[in-house]
Chains A and B, each alone.
Chain A
């Protein structure tokens, strides 16, 4: 059974750096074709893709947020970490991690999401 779980702070202050961890089980990120992405959703708004890391350590970022994002993986711990710098209240959202299958071009399994509020 494949599962993903997001963890991180529920509240961050403006200008701070957000660090989120996605801990997964049921698959290996060293297996060809496996990828993990981060997606966020502000309250009442649409999904927004943030970043993706692949089994071969290729990384892709949202063009609009590229300068603020870093994605990395620890294959031995089955974790993917996303950092976002210079947080702003507009970054308040539920942050999801999801498994992306390259062969299917789709997010097949999603975590439950973690709500992050940016406020002083």
Chain B
């Protein structure tokens, strides 16, 4: 069971928008930056968002991130079939079990 909670799956049609939530607590999301990763089938994860809402070079602005309190959200607009992947949130946890923590992952299906 992951420290960060994500919905197991989301789906939307091509061209539409989807959001993926990541819920945590004050010991992790509430007091630390959140990052988001995309994992295409059979490949290694790829950084999409860091520092809650910043995109690395090369990541299109269709991908956005936000954080409010102890929750974070990844938004994807203009969905493409190539966006079908697993998405993970991650952050540092400052509790007694300190360390990097990931969400359980969300499978995005583009219908």
By a beta-carbon cutoff of 8 Å, the part of chain A in contact with chain B is: 37, 39, 46-49, 52, 60-64, 96, 98, 101, 104-113
CB distance from A61 to the nearest CB of B (A): 7
B44 at the interface (CB under 8 A from A): yes
Interface hits, B44-95 → A, CB 8 Å: 44-47, 50-51, 54, 56, 88, 90-92
Interchain CB contact under 8 A, A104 and B37: no
Interchain CB contact under 8 A, B47 and A46: no
Q: A107 — which chain B residues lie within 8 A by C-beta?
A: 35, 37, 45, 47, 90
Known contacts A47-B105, A106-B35: A63-B99 contact under CB 8 Å = yes
Which one, B92, B97, B104, contacts A105 given CB within 8 A?
B92
Interchain CB contact under 8 A, A106 and B44: no
B98 at the interface (CB under 8 A from A): yes
Interchain CB contact under 8 A, A106 and B47: yes
Q: Compute how far the CA of A60 lies from the CA of B105 in the bound complex, rounded to whole angstroms.
A: 23
Known contacts A46-B104, A48-B102: A105-B44 contact under CB 8 Å = no
Q: A108 — which chain B residues lie within 8 A by C-beta?
A: 47, 50, 56
Question: Across the A-B interface, how many residue pairs have beta carbons closer than 8 Å?
Answer: 70
By a beta-carbon cutoff of 8 Å, the part of chain B in contact with chain A is: 2, 32-33, 35, 37, 43-47, 50-51, 54, 56, 88, 90-92, 96-105
Interchain CB contact under 8 A, A106 and B51: yes
Interchain CB contact under 8 A, B98 and A63: yes
CB distance from A44 to the nearest CB of B (A): 10
9 contacts between A and B (CB under 8 A): A60-B98, A64-B97, A98-B45, A104-B50, A105-B33, A106-B50, A106-B90, A112-B44, A113-B44
Q: A63 — which chain B residues lie within 8 A by C-beta?
A: 96-99
Q: Compute how far the CA of A109 lies from the CA of B37 in the bound complex, rounded to whole angstroms.
A: 11
Q: A109 — which chain B residues lie within 8 A by C-beta?
A: 47
Q: Compute how far the CA of A49 lies from the CA of B101 in the bound complex, rounded to whole angstroms.
A: 6
Closest to B91 in A: A105
CB distance from B22 to the nearest CB of A (A): 12
Interchain CB contact under 8 A, B45 and A110: yes
